[in-house]
A and B are shown apart, each in its own frame.
Chain A
């Protein structure tokens, strides 16, 4: 596991109400209960992960990950 360097960590860990609601909705879709004790940590962690997607941006569709039989 890793994270982009520096202050970016804090920017990415956006623990907003919207993000929390989003986490609960996503958890419901996969039939996963999140306890109140875990909610903040999961929300912050997911925000970090979504931040990684921002770091990646939109890679060129080619070369695409492919299945090779």
Chain B
């Protein structure tokens, strides 16, 4: 079946559920496609062949016996290689983790996708320990952007975004601390969601920054993204920060439209650190939605600084014992950042936490009068592999540290943010970010669906199974 026209996750599931394809055939085709085509992108680090075929067979058996195989029956998906997949080593992009025994259970998010019938086929490349925005991994190599392999995929969930954009899988999971789902989704041209902090369980993942880490899906269509989010969201007692607030399913709201929603463009910082291509994408999105209101969210530049300090301090502390014992086994660029974080004065960390509290109050005030904010997701489209600085409105910014400048503030205060892929005026993908108040993911999905239906969103690679 390899080579047939593009197929979404939900279309695949429908074929499996109705007996037009078997789950084993679908998963086999995905495995063959990864083997045949991923050499160009290097998005995948581990292929779970036997396990995937066994799970696919179980889905087919369920269908044969009349059981409900789930909304994502037989859909192959990939996970960033910091998610536990039972039977495999969870490496988090590191060689140090090779010493760990294989995981004995699946991460909660993996288990929930499996419960919906989906089949995990691969783990994907990432920046070591999620520390970075480029997926130029010293151990596993660089993941290349399927839209232009001369360019980076972004990071740190770069392998997951590239696998979806290339059409190797229709769905993937990533993690987002300062933008690590949204940045690669923007650069590769996929949809990506960082849910509200605590909405999707992180149990069974290798954490990077405890107070900032989020788990979320990437997909080629809004409906696939919503199906994956609905499957993984919800309370999990195994994650200490998991929220037990009632979850609103997002699939049912996709046809509800955006009428009546109070939408505004975020100006100030969010315009100042976006280049002409990124700001043009926001302008086109606002135009499509009939939005002419702009809101300046005060303290956003300081929020980026606070997020960086908290990230560095918490990650440095988390790795301190391991840095003492095995420093030479780290990616050199990651090692220096972690060491610096471990040396930060407590006063700086606490000042960052105070700023975080103040920024939360500012943001919540904004969302009393606004339902959804629009910003670019990244300051620019994908830089070239190995490029050190990027020019944004005449300012040279460090690629490895600045691609998250528009994503960081929302992660700092745990807001849901969904990135919609547009084709930029430079011909490359560029994301537009939709941001809402905590636990208002459904609003983001409504607007994303409107933009997709209006033809504004670019299409992903489409799986070939």
Q: Which A positions have Cβ atoms within 8 angstroms of B?
A: 1-7, 9, 23, 26-27, 30-35, 37-38, 41-42, 45-46, 48-50, 52-53, 55-61, 63-65
Contact B308 A6 (CB under 8 A): no
Task: Please name 10 pairs of A and B residues whose Cβ atoms are closer than 8 Å in the assembled complex, sorted by A.
Answer: A1-B404, A6-B395, A9-B397, A27-B343, A34-B339, A41-B333, A42-B343, A49-B341, A49-B348, A52-B306
Most chain A beta carbons < 10 A, residue from B332, B333, B335: B335
Cross-chain contact A46 with B340 (CB below 8 angstroms): yes
Q: How far is the CA of A56 from the CA of B305 in the complex (A)?
A: 7
A6–chain B nearest beta-carbon distance, Å: 3
The interface centre, meaning the residue of A48, A50, A56, A65 with most chain B CB atoms within 10 A of its CB, is A56
Q: Would you give the shortest CB distance from B43 to chain A, in whole angstroms?
A: 22
- B135 to chain A: closest CB distance in Å? 14
In the A-B complex, list the 9 residue pairs whose CB atoms are closest, starting with the nearest: A6-B395, A52-B305, A41-B336, A45-B340, A65-B353, A55-B305, A59-B354, A26-B343, A46-B340
B351 at the interface (CB under 8 A from A): yes
Q: How far is the CB of B337 from chain A (nearest CB, A)?
A: 6
B286 at the interface (CB under 8 A from A): no
How big is chain B's contact interface, by range? 35 or more
- Are A61 and B354 CB-contacts (below 8 A) given A5-B395, A56-B309? yes
CB <8 Å contact, A32 and B307:
no
B301 to A65, Cβ gap below 8 A? no
B395 touches A7 (CB 8 A): yes
Question: Majority SS of interface residues in chain B?
Answer: helix
Residues in chain B near residue A35, CB distance under 8 A: 327
Are B305 and A42 in contact (CB-based, < 8 A)? Answer: no
CB contacts (< 8 Å) of B404 on chain A: these are: 1-2
- Point out the residues of chain B lying under 8 angstroms from A63, CB to CB: 354, 357-358, 361
Residue from B133, B336, B358, B398 within 8 A of A42 (CB atoms): B336
Number of A-B pairs, beta carbon distance below 8 Å = 135
B342 adjacent to A32 (CB under 8 Å): yes
Contact A5:B272 (CB < 8 A) given known A33-B327, A38-B332? yes
Q: Does B320 contact A (CB under 8 A)?
A: yes
B304 within 8 A of A: yes
> B388-442: which residues lie under 8 A (CB-CB) from chain A?
392, 395-398, 400-402, 404-405, 408
Q: What distance in Å separates the Cβ of B412 from its nearest Cβ neighbour in chain A?
A: 10
- Cross-chain contact B324 with A32 (CB below 8 angstroms): yes
- Interchain CB contact (< 8 A) of A59 among B327, B344, B351, B392: B351
User: Of residues A5, A27, A35, A61, which shows the largest number of chain B Cβ atoms within 10 Å of its Cβ?
Assistant: A5
Shortest A55–chain B CB gap in Å is 4
- Give complex CA distance A25, B119 in Å: 51
Is residue B458 contacting chain A, with contact meaning CB distance below 8 A? no
Closest A residue to B156 by beta carbon equals: A1
Instruction: Give the distance in Å from the alpha carbon of A46 to the alpha carbon of B344 in the complex.
Output: 7
Query: For residues 329 through 365 of chain B, which have their beta carbon under 8 Å from a beta carbon of chain A?
Result: 332-333, 335-337, 339-344, 347-348, 350-358, 361
Given A26-B343, A31-B324: A1 and B354 interface contact (C-beta under 8 Å): no
Known: A2-B405, A35-B327, A49-B312. A27 touches B339 (CB 8 A): yes
Say whether B351 contacts A53, CB under 8 Å.
yes
CA distance A33 to B206 in the complex (A): 25
**In this assembly, does B131 line the interface, its C-beta being within 8 Å of a C-beta of chain A?**
yes
Which residues from chain A contact B361 at a C-beta distance below 8 Å?
A: 63
A56 near B336: Cβ-Cβ < 8 Å? no
Residues of B within 8 Å of A2, CB to CB, are 178, 304-305, 307-308, 401-402, 404-405, 408
